[in-house]
Amino acid sequence: MRCLSLIQRISIAIDVAMALDYLHDHATYPIVHRDLKPSNVLLDDDMTAHVGDFGLARFLVLHDTMLSQSMTSTNGVEGSIGYIPPEYGMGGQASVQGDVYSYGILLLEMFTGVCPTDERFTDGSSLHNHVATSFPHRVMDIIDPKIFSVKNEPGDIVLTQENVYDCLVLVLQCGILCSKDSPRERIAIKEVINQLNWVRAKLLR
């Protein structure tokens, strides 16, 4: 089975973040996806990532500066276990911050190779906590080893261990900040795009 390299994973993460940024800030009305997960990220022949499956998506419509309740209510917990933000489980309304949470979990999964529903996560533990407790000094212990099994092709950039470590710390930091329990503590998707673009540029120097 073909494995994705570090730079390919970062590029995919940027593509998904840019798709969310478009949905949240550049569509006619803000749109929340509500079911962001690996199986809803599709790769084309050029390895460009596209977000698919909008079956649970909702418009966020403004009425007198208040979000329309009928358009944003979660109507019960919908989405995929492991990627649903905590506030949805407590009856919270759909929001762009909810998509950011799902993206954060997706990002952590992409770089650790661990699914958020892994059987190791019991008794209140989670993928977020798994990464946070190893951050930043032991991140190399939890990174998906398949990232480093990809053989370099002629012309590929040779990455140094120090450079890779610094970049992985920044990537996982984005995932941790996106998947905070409190929506107010999550960073904006635009900031994620800026950080990941910087990481990719650093690796490609």
pLDDT of residue 195: 97
| pLDDT tens for each residue of 15-57 | 999 999 999 999 888 999 999 999 999 999 999 999 999 999 9
Burial of 169 (0-12, 13-18, 19+ CB in 10 A): middle
Q: What is the dihedral of CA 117, 119, 120, 123, to 10 degrees?
A: 80
Q: Which residue has the tokens 């690796």?
A: 203
Active site residue 35: yes
Which pLDDT tens digit goes with each residue over 96-147? 999 999 999 999 999 999 999 999 998 889 999 999 999 999 999 999 999 8
- The answer on pLDDT for 204 being more than 90 is no
Domain-by-domain residue ranges, the chain? 6-204
Task: Catalytic residue, from 15, 21, 25, 35: name it.
Answer: 35
Q: What is the pLDDT of residue 171?
A: 98
User: pTM to 2 decimals?
Assistant: 0.90
Confidence of residue 205 (pLDDT cuts 50, 70, 90): confident
Residue 191, pLDDT > 80, answer yes
Whether residue 8 contacts residue 16, with contact meaning beta carbons closer than 8 Å, is answered with no
Q: Which of the listed CATH numbers 1.10.150.170, 3.90.550.10, 3.10.250.10, 1.10.510.10 matches domain 6-204?
A: 1.10.510.10
Percentage of residues in the chain with pLDDT exceeding 70? 87
Average pLDDT of the residues in 156-163:
69
Look at 152 and 7; give whichever has higher pLDDT: 7
Crossing angle of helices 96-112/161-178, nearest 10°? 150
Query: Given the DSSP bridges, would you call strands 49-51 and 41-43 parallel, antiparallel or unpaired?
Result: antiparallel
Q: Identity (one letter) of the amino acid at 196? A: L
